[in-house]
Structure 1
Amino acid sequence: MTRALISVSDKTGVVEFTKGLVQAGVEIISTGGTKKVLDEAGIPTLSIDEVTGFPEMMDGRVKTLHPKIHGGLLGRRDLTTHMDAMKAHDIQPIDFVCVNLYPFKETISKPDVTEADAIENIDIGGPSMLRSASKNFQSVTVVVDPKDYALVLAELESNQATSLETRKRLAAKVFRHTAAYDALIADYLTKSVNDVEPEKLTLTYDLKQTLRYGENSHQTAAFYQDALPTAYSIASAHQLHGKELSYNNIKDADAAIRIAREFTEPTVVALKHMNPCGIGSGRTISEAYQFAYEADPTSIFGGILVANREVDLATAEEMHKLFLEIIIAPSFSKEAFDVLSNKKNLRLMTLDFSNQVNSQPEMVSVLGGLLVQEQDVVEEIPEEWEVATDRKPSAEELRALAFAWKAVKHVKSNAIVVANEHQTVGVGAGQMNRVGSVKIALEEAKGRMDGAVLASDAYFPMDDSVEYAAQHGIKAIVQPGGSIRDKDSIAMANKYGVAMVFTGIRHFRH
């Protein structure tokens, strides 16, 4: 008689699966809570101690780590020496393993979890059995996911055995599962000792969505989410309406919500191709949207909007006039949703804005490796910035400089933003020289220079950008400072009566 060892934390479908194995002539070994469930269902089972001759001990920490279990899993049926050893030591083969693990992920996700609770939910025997069985997939069928129960039973019913291909696929799934499990444990313990640059970086993600294609139509792509989901993330946003997100939608939406978290007042961010084309703040979300729209009414077409307040009917009616890809907000009023959902492809998404703190490092893939860095979330206080010029910025100019500085850190370098205190009016992004970005931003801002200031994500290597800005109406500039030629830029600003402040912080974004 063939044997199956069944020990699961997730009892979903286990009774039905076990009944199917019994009908196929399989003898069942089980442990603890699983055995109790199966016994109550009237399914005959052997306990672990009946097989091993040893009782469970140490509060269940030691129960399946025994030669009569692992010998039955690892013994190769095609080697006489293995089979002779099994016979000599009264070890019977175990041909099926159905195991899932202590809920470590669920445990550490609890806000009040203690380290002791976390440690007790590190499974040892379960991964050991899974790995032993999976190594011997030539003979052993191993199941870690209840979704695979039906497949195994169907093959048993039709062929009286599982296929080698199925066993190999299930084994691969097990090793992915145990690797992810260990990665979470490693991450938990690494963080507990504040080790920020461990010699090994172990990451695990869960498949959230298979995408239609990648950045371009000839590229395949998929979207994975953190195994421990982050609340303020596009992966955790809830889609209410519209077609599924694309690769580029996800990238753009991520960039847009990063910008939105910079602002506490009612704000709307309009984004296109990873750069903001308009940011507006106002007394209401409707006013904020008007400012964002007016910042660049051309580029907003086909863009993404993020509003940090509920979208109301008045705002929705204005948004409805445009072709947009996505609108993300904490919520939509019923009337607003009814208006916007008339466009069947428009993606409407809600996101929890209540906890925007995220200390996770940023990771960017490169050929053959991974770059890891802290997020650029440094807190800055405009009142503490250094005034480098003879003229100090007025209170209104300082508010505009603070607004522009929040915006420019999210524009691709070289980055220049021209803004007043409630909206961007010109954005120069991704140019190979800084003065080029200045010219683009000021060209966009033409005719809207009332109260406008200029922000640069990095220092000016020469004074040409300052001179060009001053000649085109800029009266105040914010930049990091730090160039060996700062004195030239300061002198040029003084020549034109421009107030210039240094933040001491650079915001490159590549």
Structure 2
Amino acid sequence: MKKQALISVSDKTGITDFAKGLAEQDYDIISTGGTLRTIQEAGIEATAVEDVTGFPEMLEGRVKTLHPVIHAGLLAKRDDGTHKQQLSDKGITPIDVVVVNLYPFKQTLDQQNVTEEEIIENIDIGGPTMLRAAAKSFRDVTPVVDPDDYDEILQAIQNDELDTAMRKNLAAKVFRHTAQYDALIAGYFTDEAFPENYTVTYEKVQSLRYGENPHQEAAFYKKPIESPMSLTSAKQRHGKELSYNNIQDANAALGIIADYDRPAAVAVKHMNPCGIGMAEDLNTAFSKAYNGDPVSIFGGIVACNRTIDVDTAKQLSGIFLEIIIAPAFTDEAFMILTNKKNIRLLELKMDEAKINSHKLTSVNGGILVQDNDNKEISRNNLTFPTEKKPTEAELDDLLFAWKAVKHVKSNAIVLANDMQTIGIGAGQMNRVGAARIALEQAGDKAKGAALASDAFFPMPDTAKEAAKAGVAAIIQPGGSKRDQDSIDMCDQYGVVMVFTGARHFKH
């Protein structure tokens, strides 16, 4: 009995060559709709599915392959005598190869001005059903979902090397493919932020040389639907492949720079900002970021939210940096920076909406899911509990520091002056310890500066340390049982304190 292949594809890439190869290996080909026409127009003999089933395609193509003749031919166990007899009794020929790719649901979602009706019509029903049936029967049936596999499969058939192990690997790919397809559909229909089943799916971007350390394997994945301000959308203009740690740090830099509308630059080291500057032009903004901590920036990552110009490029080129991210580079700036062989230059649009997707964190045996910390604080949200109130300039610096502190690992303290970070204390086990690190880094620059704390002061010690160093104003969430002690300490030293009513823990 000749073998039989069923081909029904939305993406016609390479299908005529594959069908021709199967025909040359003595396979009978059955097909549907546009795929059938494509194959026949290439001069390859093929039979319509409806001629096999005796049942016409109907409901605008919604029903084509959902028929017992097709699915019995896929699901029958070839080594089961009862199954073989039942096929024989019904005159059903087993199907040996199934080649299917699905209606372009993801591509339809990506289109602008697409209607819900168009989206729903691009939900494939028969395709996943055939693929899953073929994959379930991998011991006898070869399931094919990826055009990139055509050549390898055809070669294996020609060399009589298409074995169970290969078919099992193809089956695994099918189930991954249909699982992602269903996850995208479920995501489209789901309005709840945190449904009872949280299904996510990602596509591989690249294998990485290693993870955080050379003994850890790693890979980089992206969401199937493009996300704003994502490294997966960046264009690498220069430099070697990104590493695991590069990606982590670059992602942190993007999260920070997304918060600033005016020209800004941020330098990141180990996922913490080491310098942030904002000004009327990028060159000045970067100068501020650099001078905020000229030591820690060495070997770091810089993100800018404006085109890198010549003057900024000259500053950048004088520092050892791993990565520079910007919306664009002028030609002259690009030439200056590409003289540094090991630097990576990434272009990424930064006029997208704020980063607003969920944050997923893996834990042993599960994941934690939360909204990203996008809470905006404006002057209208603030309360002023101290006798002394902030000036407009102090208020600007307080809000600048408050934006920065949410990106620093807790416990976190940020000192700022004139839209420039001058001291950052990150990831300490107590708040006063973080404050001492930030104050020591700032040195004499702490006089007249603004201090931001990511969470409330449980004791007045942090306020006292800041006041003694000359800090002029403090912004913090408030809400401690001992808030009054910190307020009194500020009043004693003539320091402004401002409450936001919201905290910015980052673990």
Into which bin does the TM-score normalised by the smaller protein fall? over 0.9
Give the Cα separation in 2 of the matches to 1:2 and 1:489.
Answer: 82
Task: Tell me the percent identity.
Answer: 56
Task: Tell me the residue number matched to 1:292.
Answer: 289
Q: Deviations over 1:172-200 (max 9, x none)?
A: 1001000000000011111xxx2122111
Matches within 5 A, 1:452-463: 452-463=449-460
SS of 1:116 mapped into structure 2: helix
Q: Deviations over 1:393-429 (max 9, x none)?
A: 1111111101111111110000000101310000000
Give the Cα separation in 2 of the matches to 1:437 and 1:149.
Answer: 58
Give the Cα separation in 1 of the matches to 2:193 and 2:209.
Answer: 36
Task: Tell me the residue number matched to 1:112.
Answer: 113
Q: Deviations over 1:228-271 (max 9, x none)?
A: 12131122111111011111111101111111011111100001
Give the Cα separation in 1 of the matches to 2:319 and 2:282.
Answer: 17
Matches within 5 A, 1:147-226: 147-159=148-160, 162-190=162-190, 194-226=191-223
Q: 2:315 aligns with which of 303, 315, 318?
A: 318
Matches within 5 A, 1:90-489: 90-159=91-160, 162-190=162-190, 194-489=191-486
Report if aligned partners of 2:22, 2:154 keep a CA contact under 8 Å in 1: yes
Q: Deviations over 1:447-489 (max 9, x none)?
A: 2235411000000000011011101101110000000110111
Report if aligned partners of 2:447, 2:472 keep a CA contact under 8 Å in 1: no
Task: Tell me the residue number matched to 2:26.
Answer: 25
Matches within 5 A, 1:489-504: 489-504=486-501
Give the Cα separation in 1 of the matches to 2:283 and 2:477.
Answer: 33
Give the Cα separation in 1 of the matches to 2:239 and 2:422.
Answer: 30
SS of 2:165 mapped into structure 1: helix
Report if aligned partners of 2:417, 2:450 keep a CA contact under 8 Å in 1: yes
Give the Cα separation in 2 of the matches to 1:407 and 1:379.
Answer: 12
Give the Cα separation in 1 of the matches to 2:150 and 2:362.
Answer: 36
Report if aligned partners of 1:63, 1:125 keep a CA contact under 8 Å in 2: yes
Give the Cα separation in 1 of the matches to 2:476 and 2:112.
Answer: 40
SS of 1:447 mapped into structure 2: helix
Give the Cα separation in 2 of the matches to 1:68 and 1:123.
Answer: 20
2:171 counterpart letter in structure 1: A
2:35 counterpart letter in structure 1: T
SS of 2:40 mapped into structure 1: helix
Report if aligned partners of 2:447, 2:469 keep a CA contact under 8 Å in 1: no
SS of 2:368 mapped into structure 1: strand
Give the Cα separation in 2 of the matches to 1:62 and 1:253.
Answer: 48
Report the CA distance between 1:90 and its aligned residue.
Answer: 0.7
Give the Cα separation in 2 of the matches to 1:203 and 1:99.
Answer: 23
Task: Tell me the residue number matched to 2:62.
Answer: 61
Report if aligned partners of 1:306, 1:327 keep a CA contact under 8 Å in 2: yes
Q: Deviations over 1:352-391 (max 9, x none)?
A: 1011323311111111111001111012112441001000
1:89 counterpart letter in structure 2: K
Report if aligned partners of 2:292, 2:420 keep a CA contact under 8 Å in 1: yes
Q: Deviations over 1:94-136 (max 9, x none)?
A: 1011000000000111131222111111101000000111111
Give the Cα separation in 2 of the matches to 1:23 and 1:263.
Answer: 62
2:167 counterpart letter in structure 1: R
SS of 2:204 mapped into structure 1: strand
Give the Cα separation in 1 of the matches to 2:385 and 2:364.
Answer: 42
Give the Cα separation in 1 of the matches to 2:115 and 2:377.
Answer: 34
Give the Cα separation in 1 of the matches to 2:19 and 2:227.
Answer: 36
- RMSD of the TM alignment (CA)? 0.9
Report if aligned partners of 1:403, 1:421 keep a CA contact under 8 Å in 2: no
Report if aligned partners of 1:401, 1:421 keep a CA contact under 8 Å in 2: no
SS of 1:239 mapped into structure 2: strand
**After the TM superposition, which of the residue ranges 235-244 and 292-301 deviates more from structure 2?**
235-244
SS of 1:231 mapped into structure 2: coil
Report if aligned partners of 2:142, 2:167 keep a CA contact under 8 Å in 1: yes
Report if aligned partners of 2:255, 2:355 keep a CA contact under 8 Å in 1: no
Give the Cα separation in 2 of the matches to 1:302 and 1:62.
Answer: 59
Q: Deviations over 1:66-101 (max 9, x none)?
A: 111001111111111110000001110110110000
SS of 2:465 mapped into structure 1: helix
SS of 2:149 mapped into structure 1: helix
1:318 counterpart letter in structure 2: Q
2:172 counterpart letter in structure 1: A
Task: Tell me the residue number matched to 1:42.
Answer: 43
SS of 2:159 mapped into structure 1: helix
TM-score by length of 2: 0.99
Give the Cα separation in 1 of the matches to 2:34 and 2:433.
Answer: 69
The answer as to 2:13 corresponding to 1:12 is yes
1:62 counterpart letter in structure 2: V
Give the Cα separation in 1 of the matches to 2:409 and 2:228.
Answer: 26
Is there any run of 5+ residues in structure 2 with no aligned partner, and where? none
Q: Deviations over 1:261-310 (max 9, x none)?
A: 11111100001011110001112111111101100000000000001000
SS of 1:77 mapped into structure 2: coil
Report if aligned partners of 2:448, 2:470 keep a CA contact under 8 Å in 1: no
2:505 counterpart letter in structure 1: F
Report the CA distance between 1:163 and its aligned residue.
Answer: 1.6
Report if aligned partners of 2:39, 2:46 keep a CA contact under 8 Å in 1: yes
Report if aligned partners of 1:155, 1:162 keep a CA contact under 8 Å in 2: yes
2:118 counterpart letter in structure 1: D
